[in-house]
Structure 1
Amino acid sequence: MKRVALLGMPNTGKSTFFNRLTGASAKVGNWPGITVDLLSARILLGTEMVEVVDLPGIYTLHGFAEDERVARTFLEEQPVDLLVVIANATQLDRQLALVLQLQALGQPMMLLLNMIDEARKLGIHIDQERLAQELGMPVVAISAKHGMGMEQARQALTQALHEARPPRAADIEKAFGEDDALQARLDAVFSATVDVPVSATDRLTDRLDRLLLHPWLGLPLFFLAMLGMFEAVYTLGAPLQDGVAWMLERIKIEAVTPVVTAWPPQVQSFVLDGLFDGIGTILSFLPIIVLFFLFIAIIEDSGYMSRAAFLMDAFMSRLGLDGRAFVMQLMGFGCNVPALMGTRVMRSRGLRLLTMLIIPFSLCSARLQVFVFFTTAIFDPWAAPLVLFSLYLFSFGAAFLTAVIYRRRLTHTEPVLLELPPYRFPTLRQMWLRGWREVTHFLREASGFILLGVVLVWILTHFPKDVPIASPETLAGQLAALFEPLMQPLGIDHLMTIALLFGFVAKEVVLGALAVIYGVGESELSGIVSSRIDWVQAYSFMLFVLIYTPCLSTVAVLKQESKSWRFTALAIGWPLLLAWVVSFVFYQGARWLGF
């Protein structure tokens, strides 16, 4: 099978092209360095199957960052039939340097000029035929975002593969030529093929940046935008969530219950109160998760997230971090795992470890559904978005406090390089792919944990058989009794402690565990929880869930990326201690004030 490798500088739309070409749903983000993993897919080009590999975005083969080493190692060790270089058509004065460097490898190549629509709007004219002659390779202009030129790109790929010589590994040493000679060659090619007007700037971007990057107004506007997003998620998501909950309840009553009526009572309870209620409670929150990631996709792909990193860079530097750490923390809103892997773009080990230490405090999608449930069940509709927003602020606070405490132990001197791309509104296809990818990832990765969790919770709350369900005499009650002296000062009772214990495995299990413990579905669970605890206990519980030990998959990635058991133990123990202290101070303080 022939192999095509996609290469390019960060923020050239390489992952967007990969998605268009293969139909896959690689993460697409409008800031530098988003692609840090090797993504691959098999597609039919002409009459044969071809493997397409999306390599990390790199600026040069000379670099020593993790992403650059990954690309270099792949080219050295894996035979490639064709190198496809994707360049930003609006920045060819810089992008052609990598093209010329890769040419020295002696590999078959072709060049795709992405974002050609933006180049034309700026009045930039590129002589494609002359550029192809100068470089000695096929050149195709495309807009991966809008699908422009994709058919021509497929045809050129097919033709180039047909004409390519047998594959071989690249000789990277050939790319280490004289910098002066390369720059002279770049200048000659650029001046002969590209015509750039005197004022080739995006006026809309300039006008927006005057406001959104304002030294005083920039950050307040960003957090105001995030608050508006939460309001929109609740406003649009609440009716959808109620609809899904109603549908699940109808399925339980009209389809599942008649089937299990003749089964033994213990089996009926396991199926209805364990499996169905536990999993159904989690599924009812999928609409809100989808909406959340649709809005996040707009913020990310528009280029606004890069501005947030720029605005936060000066502040983050005081914490021993940089603007990229803030971006990775925001990525953790979706899932901590890819955000942790994204730290590979950082060259300094100290900077990378400190960033990895703060990422698990990000309010990920698994925690989100827990908080959506409690804010909806306990707080008034007008207060729920504010409560959720306050939890996001607490997540930043916990991360910043951690950075202050550990910055002297995990030091670095690495400079930061941030690009601010022009503002782009994502297409409906991009937003749909993002929402679909997050939901399928959630269901695929969490389904096993959820199923195992609700089964274990049901067993622990229903055995021994001759005691009341979820009572202190059950296995779960006995287990929770061990932790009662620790959790009682936080306002967290023994039943909620059981849910927290299963949250160590995956935060997705917390709601399913509560549904199994109380033996009800999502609609009844809200009423039971609101009748058993007040808002102070609920907020204390949410603070603990927000901060305490990350899930097992996150712990596994922490160990994998840090290659240190000592660091992994710190990443587990410190959040657990901090969660207890924060919840204790809040709960006892609120009670002392008379709430």
Structure 2
Amino acid sequence: MSKTIKAALAGNPNSGKTTLFNALTGARQHVGNYPGITVDKKEGRVTRGDTTLNIIDLPGTYSLTAFSQEELVARHVLLDERPDVCVDVLNAAVLERNLYLAVQLMEMGIPVVLALNMMDELKRQGTELDTKRLSELLKLPVVETVAKSGKGVDRLVEEAVALVEKTQGKWTPLNISYGPDLDPVIAEMTEHIGKAKGFPESMPPRWVAVKYLEGDDDILSYGERNPELHAKLSELVEKVAEHCQATLQTYPEAIIADYRYGFISSVLKQGVIKVSHEQRVATSDNMDKVLTHKLLGPVIMLLILYFIYQITFVVGEIPMGWMESFFGWMGDTATSLIPEGLFQSLIVSGIIDGVGGVLGFVPLIMIIFFIISFLEDSGYMARIAYMLDRVFRIFGLHGCSVMPFIVSGGIAGGCAVPGVMAARTLRSPKEKLATLLTAPFMTCGAKLPVFILLVGVFFKEHQGLALFAVTLTAWAFALIVAKLLRMTLIKGESTPFVMELPPYRLPTLRGLLIHTWERSWQYIKKAGTVILAISILLWAAMTFPGLPESEQAKYEQQTAAITAQLESPEVQTSEDTKAQLEDQLVEVADQEAQASLRNSVAGKLGTSIDGITKYAGFDWRTNIALIGGIAAKEVIVSTLGTAYSLGEVDPDDSQSLAEKLATDKTWTMATAVSLMLFIMLYAPCFVTVVAIKQEAGSWKWAAFSVVFNTVFAFAISTIAYQILTI
């Protein structure tokens, strides 16, 4: 008879939990080497014989104390869904630290199976573990695993099934002594909680008492439902806290942590860890002496980031040329096959040029994603967060804010949407909010095309260096604005930065290719959906309502008059006169296109704010592109091309647009710098705004990011333009 078991998969970040989840279920998801890669609850299924395990992949977390969103999610899943068994994945190389979570799971009472992962790395360090002895001391199953190769996975499933059959759904909490100062108080609190109502049955009374002593806000909110009980428990906590401070100069939460680690230490000292020979210093530690050195570390980090730019543009130049040629061919083919008119304009200018302008940069984006995946999977990305924590704390941010910044485009080519989502790993709501509002400043892949365009025109001799400077400028403004927000609207204490540095690993080519393709596919899908729709809307806004009949007739008369002159016998015999008249025809066509664009919905909107934006060096055509960029930054280059009336020249061909800007007297280096600063800092794209709302839990902060960022961007751009113009 078939049966179904509900299992939870828990573990510290960098323990290999996600890799084990993939090995168990066959699911494919991104595996990174920095804390917080698994934020949402994910589920998978594994079948062995007549038994099916529905596995819930919990967020990676160091504990079950409600300091962060991932800890809350993990704990609520365990308490609300009450799985039959929990598989706790531990990095065997740092067993003592990883057992801290296991002890907390055992205190909840859930049946636990320990998966000692990365046993191959532990043995290379010259250390052996007596897993049988550990199992006897903790009174729970312990299985050795190597998740990346699948070793021990089948036995792990067998032990989980056997434990469920043995416990029959019964939870038995582990009771640890917390010393003579806390134990009596815990006993009294447990008695009060057991008699009163207000806490779910899934929460063991003694566990609740310990959480009260730890000051767990989530548990306190449950207690507040019974004011009398809450007052009594709070009084006991306050008294014992005063006693601990007076006698031990510490507080209950610290004592609890010390006794948990004491319990773990006492277990490990009973013959669990065996060192077969003198333990050598791990290769990772030797590498970190250089790569995370106080002076050399930051220098090496900056050199690596600069190297990413150089190799990206050198390697990406050729395939980008292929993509531009392909979309140019598509435009020419569509122009020749489709009769001249609105439908041809829609297909060529609205769809091919709009979407092609975005997809043309896919090769460059893929190269950057590949390099980022290598840094993540090798373990170096975690070192970047570690080194930048000191700097970030000065500006009111957290070391874990580094990852949202990098994913958003701290290393150019990212995307603010997953960057904003990566901020979920931050414990402090205020640090998280400051990160959400400043991460969109980074140089995302959508901004790259316009930066490449302007750098190519105004900084020809130093393109790589100029783009590197753009990235550093984005980081600088993000930190400055974060500090400003943390001093005013988002005041609050900083939280400590706790991060386990994973050992360096050599990523597999298959893994890198999978990660690169998954990220690139998201970029391509956006181009085929969101960007396609926006491009069509912008085309319509820049096409209609067109010129009034009287003005249209004026241009037609001018064109007819010049054409008549061209057809006269006198002109046909004079090449100079013929060339002059042909130039006049082009000029009239350009004037008509400019007038038509000015009279369009987008043109009128662009000219309506021209009186203000001129102080930052923007004309009405640039305004149109920037307004479109609020929807999606990818459309700025293609919109600029169309707005500058390039006729039959592909508006997404950066060289053609570059030539136009280079010869336009209104464009100077001051204009280019001002525009780059504005695009770097102004309102996030619409999809990012929605993501900010989801993560911040309110449209208020999403709207703030649009208004504040745009005002701030305009102020900075205006100052830069005025100074450079002078």
Same fold judged by TM-score > 0.5? yes
Which aligned pairs between 1:349-388 and structure 2 lie closer than 5 A? 349-376=429-456, 379-380=459-460, 383-388=462-467
Change in Cα spacing, 1:565 to 1:274, as seen in structure 2 (3 Å) is: closer
Conserved in 2, the CA contact under 8 Å of 1:453 and 1:513?
A: no
Partner of residue 36, structure 2: 33
Q: Does 1:543 align with 2:623?
A: no
Partner of residue 620, structure 2: 494
Between stretches 24-33 and 294-303, larger displacement belongs to 24-33
Give the letter for the 1:548 counterpart.
Answer: Y
Q: Does 1:84 align with 2:87?
A: yes
In the TM superposition, residue 508 of structure 1 has moved relative to its aligned partner by 2.5
Between stretches 185-194 and 479-488, larger displacement belongs to 185-194
Q: What SS does structure 2 have at the residue aligned with 1:85?
A: strand
For 1:376 and 1:41, how far apart are their aligned partners in 2?
48
For 2:317 and 2:626, how far apart are their aligned partners in 1?
25
**TM-score for the superposition, normalised by structure 1:** 0.88
Partner of residue 420, structure 1: 501
Q: Does 1:123 align with 2:126?
A: yes
For 2:695 and 2:123, how far apart are their aligned partners in 1?
42
| Pairing partner for 1:586 from 720, 723, 726 | 720
Give the letter for the 1:543 counterpart.
Answer: L
Partner of residue 391, structure 2: 315
Cα deviation 1:245-269 (Å, max 9, x = unaligned): 2233344445x556x53x5621122
Partner of residue 291, structure 2: 212
Give the letter for the 2:74 counterpart.
Answer: A
Q: Does 1:240 align with 2:241?
A: no
Between stretches 382-391 and 173-182, larger displacement belongs to 173-182
Change in Cα spacing, 1:62 to 1:490, as seen in structure 2 (3 Å) is: closer
In the TM superposition, residue 287 of structure 1 has moved relative to its aligned partner by 1.0
For 2:309 and 2:261, how far apart are their aligned partners in 1?
48
Which aligned pairs between 1:423-572 and structure 2 lie closer than 5 A? 423-445=504-526, 447-466=528-547, 468-469=592-593, 471-514=597-640, 517=643, 518=646, 520-521=649-650, 524-533=653-662, 534=667, 536=669, 537-572=671-706
For 1:72 and 1:577, how far apart are their aligned partners in 2?
41
For 1:199 and 1:172, how far apart are their aligned partners in 2?
45
Change in Cα spacing, 1:317 to 1:110, as seen in structure 2 (3 Å) is: same
Conserved in 1, the CA contact under 8 Å of 2:85 and 2:163?
A: no
For 1:496 and 1:591, how far apart are their aligned partners in 2?
18
| Pairing partner for 1:171 from 202, 208, 214 | 202
Partner of residue 157, structure 1: 157
Which aligned pairs between 1:186-201 and structure 2 lie closer than 5 A? 186-191=264-269, 192-196=271-275, 200=279
For 1:336 and 1:505, how far apart are their aligned partners in 2?
13
For 2:398 and 2:436, how far apart are their aligned partners in 1?
13
Q: Does 1:270 align with 2:346?
A: yes
Conserved in 1, the CA contact under 8 Å of 2:12 and 2:61?
A: yes
Change in Cα spacing, 1:126 to 1:515, as seen in structure 2 (3 Å) is: farther
Between stretches 490-499 and 389-398, larger displacement belongs to 490-499
For 2:724 and 2:545, how far apart are their aligned partners in 1?
38
Q: What SS does structure 2 have at the residue aligned with 1:504?
A: helix
For 2:424 and 2:521, how far apart are their aligned partners in 1?
25
Change in Cα spacing, 1:179 to 1:460, as seen in structure 2 (3 Å) is: closer
Conserved in 2, the CA contact under 8 Å of 1:89 and 1:113?
A: yes
Cα deviation 1:455-485 (Å, max 9, x = unaligned): 0111012112446446212222111111212
Conserved in 2, the CA contact under 8 Å of 1:278 and 1:515?
A: no
Conserved in 1, the CA contact under 8 Å of 2:126 and 2:280?
A: no
Conserved in 1, the CA contact under 8 Å of 2:407 and 2:416?
A: yes
Partner of residue 396, structure 1: 475
Change in Cα spacing, 1:375 to 1:426, as seen in structure 2 (3 Å) is: farther
Give the letter for the 1:343 counterpart.
Answer: A
Change in Cα spacing, 1:312 to 1:265, as seen in structure 2 (3 Å) is: same
For 2:639 and 2:710, how far apart are their aligned partners in 1?
20
For 1:196 and 1:220, how far apart are their aligned partners in 2?
37
For 2:48 and 2:311, how far apart are their aligned partners in 1?
43
| Pairing partner for 2:404 from 328, 338, 341 | 328
For 1:71 and 1:78, how far apart are their aligned partners in 2?
11
Conserved in 1, the CA contact under 8 Å of 2:43 and 2:56?
A: yes
In the TM superposition, residue 541 of structure 1 has moved relative to its aligned partner by 1.9
For 1:156 and 1:3, how far apart are their aligned partners in 2?
15
Across the aligned residues of Structure 1 and Structure 2, the Cα RMSD in angstroms comes to 3.1
Conserved in 1, the CA contact under 8 Å of 2:23 and 2:150?
A: no
Give the letter for the 1:443 counterpart.
Answer: I
Cα deviation 1:133-184 (Å, max 9, x = unaligned): 555555443343xx3235x415642674487457799934378378787556
Partner of residue 424, structure 2: 344
Conserved in 1, the CA contact under 8 Å of 2:452 and 2:467?
A: yes
Conserved in 2, the CA contact under 8 Å of 1:36 and 1:344?
A: yes
Q: Does 1:61 align with 2:64?
A: yes
For 2:169 and 2:415, how far apart are their aligned partners in 1?
37
Q: Does 1:249 align with 2:252?
A: no
Cα deviation 1:42-63 (Å, max 9, x = unaligned): 5666577754432111222234
Query: Which structure has the larger Rg?
Result: 2
Conserved in 1, the CA contact under 8 Å of 2:111 and 2:163?
A: no
- Show structure 1 runs of 5+ residues with no match: none
For 2:52 and 2:317, how far apart are their aligned partners in 1?
45
**TM-score for the superposition, normalised by structure 2:** 0.73
Change in Cα spacing, 1:566 to 1:220, as seen in structure 2 (3 Å) is: same
For 1:377 and 1:51, how far apart are their aligned partners in 2?
57
Cα deviation 1:57-89 (Å, max 9, x = unaligned): 122223432211111111122243442221111
In the TM superposition, residue 326 of structure 1 has moved relative to its aligned partner by 2.9
Cα deviation 1:330-388 (Å, max 9, x = unaligned): 232233233333333333333232232322212222223443344456643x5221121
